[in-house]
């Protein structure tokens, strides 16, 4: 099965280098990015769309769903829960540590990388059992890091700094 992962369109916290708010929507540029992506993928025929429950991902999924496919909301695709870091500058954390798989460092009440990966691995393990040819997944940069590690492995240094940019798409073979 082919799995196509899309990151949501741009948000205001993305451009201001802040940790996202859970209820944040995409901004005007994010809407335009999603419309551009819809045009790019309009000839692709997905069996189904899975989406994060967060508004920015749902809004992106609705815009790019040109063939009106069923959208299944799956909580396992939610962005890493930033806890009390929401709205704070990204610079308040050391990014290499924040996104290091083996770290035990905590900056507050954020979800651990290991917990995020467990959610994503569980989602992909369940998806593997389905009889789809092409699946579209709309989620977040943290989810794209977990997808990358699932398919490519965790780097030896444990640093998970690769992730999709806003409204970009990446194909995987599951």
Q: Which pair of tokens denotes residue 157?
A: 């240094």
Catalytic residue among 8, 59, 82, 140: 8
How many angstroms separate the CA atoms of 21 and 25, rounded? Answer: 9
Selected catalytic residue, list 24, 79, 86, 110: 79
CB atoms within 10 A of CB 17: 9
Cα–Cα nearest to 66, from 25, 28, 34, 32: 34
CA 6 from centre of chain: 7
Enumerate long-range contacts of 41-46, CB under 8 Å, 24 or more apart. Answer: 41/4, 41/66, 41/136, 41/169, 42/66, 44/4, 44/134, 44/136, 45/134, 46/4, 46/134, 46/135, 46/136
Distance CA 78, CA 118 (A): 12
* Structure tokens, 32: 């335009």
* 8 catalytic residue (yes or no): yes
Active-site residue list: 8, 79
């Amino acid at each position: 099965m082919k799995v196509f992962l899309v990151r949501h369109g741009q948000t205001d916290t993305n451009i201001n280098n802040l940790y996202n708010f859970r209820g944040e929507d995409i901004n005007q540029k994010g809407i335009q990015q999603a419309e551009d992506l819809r045009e790019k993928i309009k000839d692709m025929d997905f069996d189904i769309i899975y989406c994060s429950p967060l508004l920015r991902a749902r809004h992106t999924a609705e815009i790019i769903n040109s063939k009106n496919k069923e959208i299944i909301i799956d909580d396992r695709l939610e962005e890493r829960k930033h806890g009390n870091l929401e709205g704070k500058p990204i610079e308040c954390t050391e990014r290499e540590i924040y996104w290091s798989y083996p770290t035990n460092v905590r900056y507050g009440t954020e979800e651990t990388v290991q917990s995020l990966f467990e959610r994503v691995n569980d989602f992909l393990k369940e998806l593997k059992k389905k009889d789809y040819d092409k699946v579209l997944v709309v989620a977040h940069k943290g989810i794209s890091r977990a997808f990358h590690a699932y398919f490519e492995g965790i780097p030896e240094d444990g640093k998970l700094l690769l992730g999709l940019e806003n409204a970009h798409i990446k194909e995987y073979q599951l």
